[in-house]
Amino acid sequence: MQLDLGRDHMIIIGTSHGMLRSFAEDLPADSVVLIDEPDVIRRRDVERLAGQLPFVSRVVPAEYQTGFDAAALLAREPGLAAARLVMPGMEYAVGAAARLADALGLPGAGGTAADVFCDKHQLRLLAAEAGLANPAFELVDGPAQAAAFARRHGGRCVLKPTRRSGSLGVQILTDPEQVADAWADTAAAEAPPEATDRGVPTAVLVEQVLDGREHSVELLVADGEVIFSNVTDKRVLPGRRPVETGHTVPSVLPDGVRRELLDAAARLARAAGFRTGVLHSEWIIADGVPTLVECAARLPGDMITALISIAYECGFIEAYLRTLRGERPVLPARPTGGAAVEFLLAPPGTVTAVDGLRAARRVSGVLGVQLDVAVGATVGEVTCSLARSGHVLAWGADLAEATAAAGKAAEQIQISTD
């Protein structure tokens, strides 16, 4: 990635350590201003991280997760007017990035669209108005309402916070009697490390359970026009906590179904008035119909951007940044190979040993092995994506070869817990 950027030309709002490190060799020195919450900067030692990354020129503290005043920030930091693109670094920055881009006259999602994609209840209302398939849903104030909803829908329901990501607080319940005990895990869902200590307010949405395979659609949009699209196949844990365990690109869906998914995602983007950026939506094919799970107006996590770049032999993140700068990059219309990520799930307990990393890295097709736990660490139940223990990334001449390589490498890794 070689973008023509000068000092302070790019603004990233919100600190994702992994994403920033992935930019380390690709962005010019001093090209990025990093904006984050003052308490997050202190708690996560963001200044120290920025000092290790030559492309970060400075760190600007600003409150943005529970209200954001772009005009006040620009009055206090007039140097930000030099920016040529603004991007959100994580979920809670989507709204602020859209508003700052608007204030600077730069491409972005648009404030109204950003708000819709940051609130799962608003998203449901929009999808229903646009005629897209939704599960039955209801915004509820307490467990009694949620249990009554479950009884009306075959005894099952999904509880989810309206403003969380990474499967935090999401639960699939199979009996209305479970709701009371499960309520607090959703209503007071844990906030991720990048959230401000002030707390990001959330409500509880209860939904009908959808049965079927899950897929995601990644759209790159410029001025309201879809200029690239992809379908990713996903695997999730069975049972109460549907945390993602693996992804593959390209999708194995029949062409007709894949086109229906892409059309539904594009209709969602148009209905929201989404202008420029990436939309990452999740869908389940329920009774043959693409049915919306949720959608985020930001780069997808869980290595999906890497899978797209590998399978299509393109620089997907570079194309995204160029789009935010007002360009129209051309990406391949079809993948030329396959890519797969397999997430590592250690059993709960204290990690006593990790074996097989070298053997995993020697598997043909493996591009990377990342371990997120170490000996002595405590591993809990996998209730969200943050609780996974690492991943294996692989490629192949086709999807079968990539999937086999990722699976074989993951099998080599043994994380022992006591």
pLDDT in tens, the chain (418 residues): 668 899 999 999 998 888 888 887 789 999 999 999 999 999 999 999 999 999 999 999 999 999 899 999 999 999 999 999 999 999 999 999 999 999 999 999 999 999 999 999 999 999 999 999 999 999 999 999 999 999 999 999 999 999 988 889 999 999 999 999 999 999 998 888 889 999 888 999 999 999 999 999 999 999 999 999 999 999 999 999 999 999 999 999 999 999 999 999 999 999 999 999 999 999 999 999 999 999 999 999 999 999 999 999 999 999 999 999 999 999 999 999 999 999 999 999 999 999 999 999 999 999 999 999 999 999 999 999 999 999 999 999 999 999 999 999 999 999 999 9
| Residues 147 and 192 reside in one and the same domain | yes
| Residues 81 and 230 reside in one and the same domain | no
Are residues 345 and 245 in contact, defined by beta-carbon separation less than 8 angstroms?
A: yes
Euclidean distance between the first and the last CA atom of the chain, given in angstroms as a whole number: 44
| Residues 151 and 285 reside in one and the same domain | no
| Residues 354 and 313 reside in one and the same domain | no
| Residues 265 and 124 reside in one and the same domain | yes
- Residue 108's nearest CA partner among 294, 264, 297 is 297
Q: Which amino acid is at 17?
A: H
Q: What are phi and psi of 281, to 5 degrees?
A: -110, 150
- Structural domain boundaries enclosing 91: 10-106
Query: Final residue of a domain: which of 315, 336, 357?
Result: 336
> How many structural domains are present in the chain?
4
Query: Final residue of a domain: which of 336, 371, 402?
Result: 336
Residue 201, judged by CB atoms within 10 A of its CB (0-12, 13-18, 19+), counts as exposed
Element (H, E) at 17: helix 17-22
What is the CATH number for 202? 3.30.1490.20
Are residues 80 and 104 in contact, defined by beta-carbon separation less than 8 angstroms?
A: yes
Pull the structure tokens for residue 212: 């079927």
Q: What is the pLDDT of residue 189?
A: 86
What is the CATH number for 38? 3.40.50.20
Q: What is the pLDDT of residue 1?
A: 60
What is the CATH number for 314? 3.30.470.20
Cβ of 315: how many Cβ atoms within 10 Å? 18
Angle at which helices 179-187 and 143-152 cross, to 10°? 120
Q: Please tell me the distance from the alpha carbon of residue 148 to that of residue 175, in angstroms, as a whole number.
A: 11
Q: What is the pLDDT of residue 275?
A: 98
Residue 3, in any domain of the structure: no
Q: What is the pLDDT of residue 199?
A: 87
Residue 156, in any domain of the structure: yes
| Residues 272 and 323 reside in one and the same domain | yes
Q: Please tell me the distance from the alpha carbon of residue 111 to that of residue 115, in angstroms, as a whole number.
A: 6
Q: What is the pLDDT of residue 3?
A: 83
- Among left, alpha and beta (phi > 0; psi -120 to 50; other), residue 302 is left
Pull the structure tokens for residue 128: 């229903």
Residue 111, in any domain of the structure: no
Residue 1, in any domain of the structure: no
Residue 370, in any domain of the structure: yes
Query: Final residue of a domain: which of 309, 336, 363?
Result: 336
| Residues 305 and 371 reside in one and the same domain | no
Pull the structure tokens for residue 135: 């599960």
Q: Please tell me the distance from the alpha carbon of residue 314 to that of residue 59, in angstroms, as a whole number.
A: 30
Please give the distance of CA 333 from its chain centroid, rounded to a whole number.
23
Report which DSSP code applies to 191.
P
| Residues 294 and 344 reside in one and the same domain | no
Pull the structure tokens for residue 201: 């307010």
Residue 178, in any domain of the structure: yes
| Residues 315 and 261 reside in one and the same domain | yes
Q: What is the pLDDT of residue 2?
A: 67
DSSP 194-253: TS-TT-----EEEEPPP-S-EEEEEEEEETTEEEEEEEEEEEE-SSS---EEEEEES--S
| Residues 332 and 232 reside in one and the same domain | yes
Residue 330, in any domain of the structure: yes
| Residues 142 and 153 reside in one and the same domain | yes
Sign of CA dihedral 228, 233, 235, 239: positive
The b-or-e profile of 285-309 (16+ CB within 10 A means b, else e) is: bbeeebbbbbbbbbbbbbbbbbbbb
Residue 262, in any domain of the structure: yes
Are residues 245 and 382 in contact, defined by beta-carbon separation less than 8 angstroms?
A: no
Q: What is the pLDDT of residue 95?
A: 97
Are residues 36 and 49 in contact, defined by beta-carbon separation less than 8 angstroms?
A: no
Q: Please tell me the distance from the alpha carbon of residue 243 to that of residue 235, in angstroms, as a whole number.
A: 8
Cβ of 81: how many Cβ atoms within 10 Å? 11
β-strands 171-173, 338-344 pairing: unpaired
| Residues 124 and 247 reside in one and the same domain | yes
